[in-house]
DNA sequence: CGTGGCATTGATGTAATTCAAAAGACGTGG
DNA sequence: CCACGTCTTTTGAATTACATCAATGCCACG
């Protein structure tokens, strides 16, 4: 959302102030709606297109051979995706809400456009930045936070991203399983944490998927932190790799 | 590393077959060596430069307020980094081995160059792809694998990346703490898994930091897989977010 | 030859998973 | 409209993988 509009239209620095960048991009875009559960960028071959969620929500999943699933990213309106060409094994992007609208931009045409419009080069870089930043944030969550912290983060993040600002009430259109696979927890743990947060007065439910945040701070602070002791740097030096 | 050379010099598709792309990029590069533990891209402001590891190794860390640390990425020769501008709180990139050589490219100049050389646009995109792909892989590891699987993956990954192909012997220039923070495990767990792997005949040590892989398969397969049951899609539909 | 940071190993605790089952939602069709 | 079947969500009890705490051994280095 912000990224796109910000970068596109509030960006008068480039010399060529002709056509708004949004118009340039949309000139090669194709809009398509998807139904709940339907796969986006089906079989046209991954790596061919850049995508943007216009409305609705989607999940970017990896499925492991044994049935485990990791949701790598939840895609909300304004989010771009489609960076990974390398024909990754079992990656799918699926709409979470009915009627999710997705714009797709062929990479080839974007690159052609970029040759004549430097603003686009910059925009593409910012889009990539954004994707990398989100990944990094998620890595921290998966690596360092406990269950309570993860769910708390998740609620706060969703509250912000869904309404583009710190909102108190939010609707979670995804299932508990989706939340679990997004946070790398079991469904049961997600439920337990949610009811625990309710019990502590941090949130209330106005429906299974409707949450109201009462105490934002209680969500941010998880369990007790743990200290760690680091001297300084790394191991004694050894010969360089052969 | 392959990315760089491949994309640069074995890329005769563009119309402009004048200067090799590598020469174009290196024309704006500054090379600098770093000592072990020294911070890269110190205080020139993050987001200003794109970097590439020429030789040696570096770690891309986040430090949490309570002292927890997560190594988001281990950077090997050929890896690019420096995508996150957003002045992230406590992010540092530090050399792991003495004399790590880093090339830095100012983003501004790269973008200027890109205006006249479409190949560079493509290369920048591929660099971003690569960074995103690595992040996604790491997310899977952090989210889905148990300790044994993580260490196994790590060894296999390092064996491949360090020698650009499946090698049996490898030198790990980083400390056990680094490995632990990379895999989001405790140091003790990393040690235990390593000695366990040794006990099972999957690896041997020819020195604390020198490992020889005896049974690659044993490293790939971790503990017992767990099944999961998914119906199909997400929750029953609700009203869209306010 | 001691000192300090790494590495390894053991004992213990605990957060989160797994197993099991009940209670809600929701849709379908009689 | 209600009964029925299927998912989803929730809660409980048992299990476990990993972290934490605590010691000791190990190499460098001064």
pLDDT at B101: 96
Q: How many residues does chain B have?
A: 242
Residues of A whose CB is below 8 A from B70: 139-140, 143-144
Touching check for A163 and chain B: CB below 8 Å?
yes
Nucleic strand D under 7 Å from the C-beta of A188: yes
Count Cβ neighbours within 10 Å for each residue of B168-181 and write b for 16 or more, e otherwise: eebbbbbbbbbbbb
Q: How far apart are CA B185 and CA B181, in angstroms?
A: 6
Q: How far apart are CA A216 and CA B69, in angstroms?
A: 24
Query: A83-87, A88-92, A217-221, B73-77: which has the minimum mean pLDDT?
Result: A83-87
Task: Write the secondary structure of B4-65 as one string of H (helix), E (strand) and C (coil).
Answer: HHHHHHCCCCCCCCCCCHHHHHHCCCEEEEECCCCEECCCCCCCCEEEEEEECCEEEEEECC
Interval A100-126: pLDDT, tens: 999 999 999 998 998 888 899 889 888
Are the beta carbons of B216 and B156 closer than 8 angstroms?
yes
Nucleic strand C under 7 Å from the C-beta of A176: no
How many other CB atoms are found less than 10 A from the CB of residue B206? Answer: 10
Q: Chain B residue closest to A97 (CA)?
A: B237
Q: How far apart are CA A58 and CA A65, in angstroms?
A: 22
Query: Which of A8-12, A20-24, A67-71, B196-200 ranks highest by mean pLDDT?
Result: B196-200
pLDDT band of residue A43 (cuts 50, 70, 90) is: low
Count Cβ neighbours within 10 Å for each residue of A39-52 and write b for 16 or more, e otherwise: ebbeeeebbebbbb
Q: How many CB pairs under 8 A join A and B?
A: 223
Q: How many residues does chain A have?
A: 242
Q: How far apart are CA A79 and CA A90, in angstroms?
A: 21
Are the beta carbons of B63 and B69 closer than 8 angstroms?
yes
Please judge whether B210 and A238 are an interchain contact, meaning their C-beta atoms are less than 8 angstroms apart.
yes
pLDDT band of residue A42 (cuts 50, 70, 90) is: low
In chain A, residues 158 through 187 whose Cβ sits under 7 angstroms from any atom of nucleic acid strand D: 175-177, 187
Please judge whether A139 and B136 are an interchain contact, meaning their C-beta atoms are less than 8 angstroms apart.
no
Nucleic strand D under 7 Å from the C-beta of B70: no
Count Cβ neighbours within 10 Å for each residue of A91-124 and write b for 16 or more, e otherwise: bbbbbbbbebebbbbebeebbebbeebbbbbbbb
Structure-block tokens of residue B149: 């699987």
**H or E stretch at B212:** strand B210-213
Which of A49, A228, A239 would best serve as a mutation to test chain B binding (most B beta carbons within 10 A)? Answer: A228
Please judge whether B239 and A171 are an interchain contact, meaning their C-beta atoms are less than 8 angstroms apart.
yes
Nucleic strand C under 7 Å from the C-beta of B224: no
Q: How far apart are CA A15 and CA A18, in angstroms?
A: 9
Please judge whether B226 and A68 are an interchain contact, meaning their C-beta atoms are less than 8 angstroms apart.
yes
Please judge whether A175 and B234 are an interchain contact, meaning their C-beta atoms are less than 8 angstroms apart.
yes
Which positions 33-52 of B are in contact with A (Cβ < 8 Å)?
36-37
pLDDT at B152: 97
pLDDT at B84: 76
- Spatial neighbors of B42 by CB under 8 A, at least 6 apart, are none
Interval A188-220: pLDDT, tens: 999 999 999 999 999 999 999 999 999 999 998
Q: What is the mean pLDDT of residues A220-232?
A: 54
Q: Mean pLDDT of residues grouped by 10 in chain B (242 residues)?
A: 51 56 90 93 73 96 88 96 74 93 93 89 89 93 97 96 86 97 98 97 95 94 54 41 35
Residues of B whose CB is below 8 A from A11: none
Determine how β-strand A100-106 pairs with β-strand B203-207: unpaired
Touching check for B136 and chain A: CB below 8 Å?
yes
């Amino acid at each position: 959302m912000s990224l796109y509009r910000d970068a596109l239209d509030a960006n008068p620095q480039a010399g060529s102030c002709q056509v708004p960048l949004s118009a340039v991009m949309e000139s090669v875009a194709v809009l398509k709606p998807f139904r709940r559960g339907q796969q986006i960028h089906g079989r046209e071959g991954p790596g061919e297109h850049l995508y943007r969620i216009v409305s609705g929500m989607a999940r970017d999943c990896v499925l492991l051979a044994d049935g485990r699933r990791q949701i790598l990213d939840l895609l909300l309106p304004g989010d771009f995706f489609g960076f990974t060409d390398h024909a990754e094994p079992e990656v799918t992007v699926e709409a979470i809400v009915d009627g999710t609208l997705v714009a797709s931009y062929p990479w080839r045409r974007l690159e052609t456009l970029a040759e004549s419009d430097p603003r686009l080069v910059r925009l593409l870089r910012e889009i990539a930045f954004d994707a990398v930043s989100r990944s990094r944030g998620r890595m921290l969550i998966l690596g360092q936070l406990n269950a309570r912290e993860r769910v708390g983060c998740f609620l706060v993040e969703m509250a912000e991203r869904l309404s583009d600002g710190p909102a108190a009430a939010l609707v979670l259109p995804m299932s508990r399983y989706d939340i679990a696979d997004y946070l790398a927890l079991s469904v049961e743990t997600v439920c337990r944490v949610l009811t625990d947060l309710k019990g502590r007065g941090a949130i209330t439910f106005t429906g299974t998927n409707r949450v109201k945040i009462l105490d934002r701070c209680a969500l941010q602070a998880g369990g007790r932190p743990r200290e760690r002791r680091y001297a300084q740097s790394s191991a004694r030096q050894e010969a360089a790799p052969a």
